[in-house]
Structure 1
Amino acid sequence: MGFHETPEGIYYREWAPGATQAWLIGEFCDWERKHEMKKLEHGKWELFLPNNEDGSRAIKHMSHVKVSFDSTSGERCDRIPPWINYAVMEKTKPVYIGVYYMPEKSFEWKNERPKNTQGLRIYEAHVGISSKEPTIASYRHFADDIIPRIAENGYNAIQLMAVMEHAYYGSFGYQVTSFFATSSRFGEPDDLKYLIDKAHGYGILMLLDIVHSHASMNVDDGLNRFDGTDHCYFHEGERGNHSLWGSRLFNYGHWEVMRFLLSNLRWWVEEYRFDGFRFDGVTSMMYKHHGMGVGFSGDYNEYFGDDVDGESFCYMQMANAMLHELYPDHMITIAEDVSGMPALSLPVAMGGGGFDYRLSMAIPDKWIEILKELSDEEWDIGNIVHTLTNRRHGEKSIAYAESHDQALVGDKTIAFWLMDKEMYTHMSDLAPKSLIVDRGIALHKMIRFLTYTLGGEGYLNFIGNEFGHPEWLDFPRAGNNESFQYARRQWNVVDDPLLKYKYLNKWDAAMHATCNNYDWLNAPQAYVSLKHEGDKLIIFERAGLLFVFNFHHSNSFPDYKVGTSLKGKLKVVLSSDDPEFGGFNRVDKSSEFWVKEGDGWHDRPNSTMIYIPNRVCLAFAAE
């Protein structure tokens, strides 16, 4: 389907069952209906354009094109080809147009795909907002300026948002108009290949935020009413519309729709060398009610029965089975699901959905709820631990304290909830001491480390949150006079040696370095030995490490008895109280902590005595 070059000329094929006649039009024929397509079976159309007499292609590289139909209702439909690999904004009106993108010289890949051998440490990113300047950043800017930062901090995967072309920038890439096209705002398709090749050179896996859950309502530059009907790619009538998102819903029971979407997955893997996908809106796909108005309390009647959309679930199973069979050495799939559907992250052969991971979406909601509604003294330690450990046995989860959802206008990031306006006045090392900032930096580190170590088998961070980005995220729109002021990332604040953002960034790198050494993400779930409401302590073991978190706002404990299965002499391998992380240096990392074997405590066979200051987290390992 789409455009294909042969030595003799160009083939173009399309699927439009609602059309009575079809033509390929564009700059190559002065937009006239000169090249009528031949109708094939099952609503397919085909055209062959032979080379010119001088041997050149009938359509030039970067030439604008469209497909034109007469529909069964007599309507003329001029549309962007759904399989187009590049689309740009027209010069005369705010509508996208298809581009025949076939450079003579193919992109030369320099680096091999890396293989993931450790737990996923994902850096969720958006190319357009990655510059500190109030503008739209490019693929090449991200490759040259941002990927080195990501690698230096120790992430081993990048999850790239908003790559599939979307006419409305403010949709964050979730209202896709051209599914095979890379967003032209950030550069040409080869520029994206440059970015991915650069990441692979650092040993970083590339994951695409794939949107197969719905599509833009746009008609002129989207899939909607492509052949003049409302049911070409989508369900007809109300079933084909998502009332909350204002978008169209695919008919996953139609063979050609399945082929379109499955081919789309292969395209991104084979043409651009993505290593996997984060599937957006999986909850909406799985249920006919799309998750709207359903709390998912855990009652199994909520997961199964008439509310489940069997066609879409089968599509996800087919997609996962295909991807893992075709690319067994380098394929990762992640489900964005809030429902907790059982077996979603188990292999299809076991009756599961086939995903490798699901996102633990309850975790960031819990942290925001706590910071928004509770004082420090009211934190429910047991409830926090329950939220972080409440995942299905044998199904892997990606834990995160906050993602792009919490960064958007209308919500606040964790740093903003903790420090608010103090971030603008007291984040300098030269500024007067601020108890709010001290608390904020301490809890920011603890929240992220607890989520990282206890919450899952993978970890995710959204671009800028690792250093407590001081602003929310707001795309240009009528409500802000089309401003780019908040559609950017202020790297200048973390690069300024006088500002305290550097402490959070160094902590982020230290967490990853420690995980690289002990790889708790690949270890079984942690054994939590203590959840103490009065002392506000959480203690657990995982991957041969003993983790201790003291969330108390004022109480430090000089001789706290801790149960452990470790033996011998323990050492502190990571302390959030180190000065390089903005701490107060109350923990002497040269201290030795001897384990008393046989002196069981808190359901652990052994015990030791430690010093744990307030608002500090520690990780111990046996020497």
Structure 2
Amino acid sequence: MKVQPKDIAGSIVTGDCKDPHVFLGMHVVSSRGRKKDLAVRAYHPNARLVEVLDIADNTFHPMAAKYQPGIYEAIFPSRKELFEYKLRITDQSGNSYITHDPYSFWPVISEYDIFLHSQGNHHKIYEKLGAHVMTINNVTGTLFSVWAPCAERVSVVGNFNQWDGRRHQMRQLGASGIWELFIPLVAAGDLYKFEIKTPGGQLAEKADPYAYYAEKRPARASIVHSLDLYEWNDRDWLEKRAATDVFTAPVSIYELHLGTWSTLPQPDQDGDLYLNYRTIADRLVPYIKHMGYTHIELLPVTEHPYDGSWGYQVTGYFAVTSRYGTPEDFMYLVDLCHQNGIGVILDWVPAHFPRDTHGLARFDGTALYEHTDPRQGEHPEWGTLIFNHGRNEVRNFLISNAVFWFEKYHIDGLRVDAVASMIYLDYAKKPGEWIPNKYGGNMNLEAVDFLKQLNTTVFGYFKGIMMIAEESASWPMITKPPYEGGLGFTFKWNMGWMNDFLKYVSMDPIYRKYHHNLITFSLMYAFSENFVLVLSHDEVVHGKCSMLNKMPGDYWQKFAGLRVTYGYTYGHPGKKLLFMGSEFGQFIEWDDKKGLDWHLLDYEMHKKMQTFVRDLNSLYNSHPALYQVDFSYDGFEWIDCNDNDHSVVAFLRKGRNYRDMLVFICNFTPAVNDNYCIGAPYELEYELILNSNSEKYGGYEPDCQGVLYKTEPEPLHGRPFSLRLTLPPLSVLVFKPLFEAEETSAVTASPDE
């Protein structure tokens, strides 16, 4: 039975029409040979008068109210062809404006776009979905599109239509679940949301999942924005990055939270202490260069409603948070880092999302991005919802988001948060709170496949980037390529080392000899993955104490203990990460509501601690032995790992060239060890290149860097020679063998022995 116009008009008025374009706009209502009767229809429920402007002859034609309240129609009989027109709308106050009709434009999103999206393979779908300013048929406006397959109706609401969901109803493109509407005159800076009529008939206002920018919390509207106006100046960096083997390069990461690294002296009008991205960049980049870090890692900068989540509960995956400024301001930060040789890594959260009603939760009235069953779709530990990684469109959303950050913001790496919660179905769940996979196990097969697809995709587009897994369990082959059965990450956070090591250095030194394995066990598995050694934000919150306050003993011992802790970390195989404030020995835990205690640098011991970390980075960056062979036993060798009575360990770090070798000796007790001997591989002089007990670092010895030590012809620790030393308390000593310019008989053992 043919649908009558009045029925379609009724469905538009009641908000039940999934394709208002079949009625609104210009349509042929009858045809007689070459002559056609044309109808122009519009829906403006609050208008006093609506007129059609025939652009060809610049004449206005009044439209008659017809079919339903707010529906207007004008008939143009005996026309040979469709013609270009505009609408003049006059409101109840007598104000009028002229615009092109949103319902006079053909779809922009192609069938191929829809096909790729439904397959989960549209890696740049963010260029289609969301809000995009464009010009169509010489008309400038904004194309809005969103995926909401179960919605009864989707409308664009914003400051351009008085937030009236009746005004700009979208059309659904077939069975794709994608809704689209081009609205003339809507421009960058306009506010908008999607008003969704759910299958139950309720109306919900949702932020755009693909929005590039959003209002500052607590406001929730998305903002029309273009990301193509910023002029980048980092080509040299990107070319160098693509040519760099990150596995054999130095990677020393400074982790920070933008909102509290540096703050305003007084709260602003919103009660915030936040600086703009540009101001932060101008302060941060010189500091990072001075300290010698190679990369910064930012706690999530994606839009989020709750400050206390630190950004880990995301509502705007494609939007940098407006707390600190605009997208261009953040681009400036990244650009300035790159121009100064500093890489930028973002924390990224593809595991879960918050329940906020304006976000992804039950987006179209159904469990769209999450699972329907709460045993699969809810995270009891964090009170969040779990992404349905088995749904193609959800995978597409997340993978395209990863591509987006590399493409649009030139990011150098993503640290993927909470990987363990993704790959284990029973993570943080009790029996009965989770559903086994089809084989009866606890592996999340869909999430595993997603991670493999994610890493394969981004590495296919970008060279020299990093994908870093924060995985707290013992899942095998996290950093092996998918074609070998791995997940394909570049690096993995070494959580096992971190837990053991912090437990060890936090205990009273008198007990350390009974727990010596806590600092040696990590070398049993150190090369099973490509590890990053992390002393991160998670370890200096929630009553865990700051790094300095983890150290036992008096004031002096705390600083000395922290120096040997960092020294051992930099000597241990693996890339490095340290959280902000830890480099100068902040006493209190990190507080996300206040800035760091930079005033502590007015005190000698804190300033000297900062100098020590700076010199550690300098040592690290200038000696290939510390980074060139991080993921193989070829780069590490114990000299002595068994002296638990003295809580001393000694080891070698080696580069590709054996002449780059360094010797580390760490004393984890406050006792001085005179005449302490370790085995030495070569009969050479050994230059002391770092002593954490130097006065310039807060110790009590004069700066003795460059002092030479000669080996003795006494075999020890399986070595043909030995070094006799005095080990200062709670200290790390680093030596460099002084080889001759050419190999001589002084070398008594081959490099392979």
Structure 1 and Structure 2 fold alike (TM over 0.5)? yes
Pair 1:493-2:629 in alignment? no
Question: Structure 1 residue 439: deviation in Å?
Answer: 0.5
2:299 is aligned to: 161
> Which residue type is aligned with residue 455 of structure 2?
N
> Which residue type is aligned with residue 594 of structure 1?
K
Q: Return the structure number with greater relative CO, CA threshold 8 A, min gap 6.
A: 1
Q: Normalising by the residue count of structure 2, what TM-score does the alignment of the two structures yield?
A: 0.73
2:459 is aligned to: 324
> Which residue type is aligned with residue 585 of structure 1?
E
Alignment of 1:519-534 (within 5 A): 519=624, 520-523=626-629, 524-525=632-633, 526-531=636-641, 532-534=643-645
Pair 1:311-2:439 in alignment? no
Question: Structure 1 residue 522: deviation in Å?
Answer: 2.4
* Post-superposition CA distance 1:152-186 (Å, at most 9, x none): 11111111112011100000111111111111111
For residues 387 and 357 of structure 1, what CA distance do their matches in structure 2 show? 20
Residue among 697, 722, 735 paired with 1:620? 735
Residue among 645, 670, 684 paired with 1:568? 684
> Which of these two proteins has the greater Rg computed from alpha carbons?
2
> Helix, strand or coil for the counterpart of 1:181?
strand
Cα contact 1:549–1:616 (8 A) shared by 2: yes
Residue among 351, 355, 365 paired with 2:489? 355
Pair 1:83-2:210 in alignment? yes
Alignment of 1:118-517 (within 5 A): 118-132=249-263, 133=265, 135-220=273-358, 222-229=359-366, 231-238=367-374, 239-291=376-428, 306-328=441-463, 330-380=464-514, 382-391=516-525, 393-400=527-534, 402-418=535-551, 436-454=554-572, 456-475=573-592, 484=593, 487-494=594-601, 496=602, 498-517=603-622
Residue among 126, 149, 159 paired with 1:17? 149
- Once the two structures are aligned, what percentage of the paired residues are identical? 26
Question: Structure 1 residue 362: deviation in Å?
Answer: 2.5
> Which residue type is aligned with residue 541 of structure 1?
L
Pair 1:600-2:715 in alignment? yes
Question: Structure 1 residue 189: deviation in Å?
Answer: 0.8
Alignment of 1:545-560 (within 5 A): 545-557=662-674, 559-560=675-676
For residues 276 and 69 of structure 1, what CA distance do their matches in structure 2 show? 35
For residues 34 and 325 of structure 1, what CA distance do their matches in structure 2 show? 43
Question: Structure 1 residue 196: deviation in Å?
Answer: 0.3
* Post-superposition CA distance 1:45-76 (Å, at most 9, x none): 3334254xxxxxx2132211001111111111
Cα contact 1:587–1:611 (8 A) shared by 2: no
For residues 181 and 172 of structure 1, what CA distance do their matches in structure 2 show? 15
Cα contact 1:283–1:291 (8 A) shared by 2: no
Alignment of 1:45-60 (within 5 A): 45-49=178-182, 51=184, 58-60=185-187
Question: Structure 1 residue 341: deviation in Å?
Answer: 1.0
> Which residue type is aligned with residue 628 of structure 2?
N
Cα contact 1:377–1:553 (8 A) shared by 2: no
Cα contact 1:209–1:279 (8 A) shared by 2: yes
Ranges in structure 2 where 5+ consecutive residues have no aligned partner: 1-128, 267-272, 432-438, 655-660, 739-753
> Helix, strand or coil for the counterpart of 1:129?
helix
Shifted more, 391-400 versus 587-596: the winner is 587-596
Question: Structure 1 residue 591: deviation in Å?
Answer: 3.3
Question: Structure 1 residue 137: deviation in Å?
Answer: 2.9
Pair 1:66-2:193 in alignment? yes
Closer, same or farther in 2 for the Cα pair 1:449/1:42, shift >3 Å? farther
For residues 208 and 552 of structure 1, what CA distance do their matches in structure 2 show? 37
Cα contact 2:504–2:518 (8 A) shared by 1: no
For residues 421 and 584 of structure 2, what CA distance do their matches in structure 1 show? 32
> Which residue type is aligned with residue 477 of structure 2?
A
For residues 396 and 364 of structure 1, what CA distance do their matches in structure 2 show? 15
Cα contact 1:567–1:622 (8 A) shared by 2: no
Closer, same or farther in 2 for the Cα pair 1:371/1:569, shift >3 Å? closer
Cα contact 1:467–1:505 (8 A) shared by 2: yes
1:542 is aligned to: 653
Question: Structure 1 residue 377: deviation in Å?
Answer: 4.1
Question: Structure 1 residue 452: deviation in Å?
Answer: 2.0
Cα contact 1:446–1:615 (8 A) shared by 2: yes
Pair 1:4-2:142 in alignment? no
> Helix, strand or coil for the counterpart of 2:551?
helix
> Which residue type is aligned with residue 724 of structure 2?
M
Question: Structure 1 residue 336: deviation in Å?
Answer: 0.3
> Which residue type is aligned with residue 210 of structure 2?
W
Q: Normalising by the residue count of structure 1, what TM-score does the alignment of the two structures yield?
A: 0.87
Cα contact 2:155–2:168 (8 A) shared by 1: yes
For residues 196 and 527 of structure 1, what CA distance do their matches in structure 2 show? 38
> Helix, strand or coil for the counterpart of 1:500?
helix
Ranges in structure 1 where 5+ consecutive residues have no aligned partner: 52-57, 295-303, 420-434, 476-483
For residues 593 and 305 of structure 1, what CA distance do their matches in structure 2 show? 62
Cα contact 1:398–1:460 (8 A) shared by 2: yes
Question: Structure 1 residue 380: deviation in Å?
Answer: 4.0
> Helix, strand or coil for the counterpart of 1:122?
strand
> Which residue type is aligned with residue 546 of structure 2?
T
Shifted more, 154-163 versus 134-143: the winner is 134-143
Closer, same or farther in 2 for the Cα pair 1:474/1:608, shift >3 Å? closer
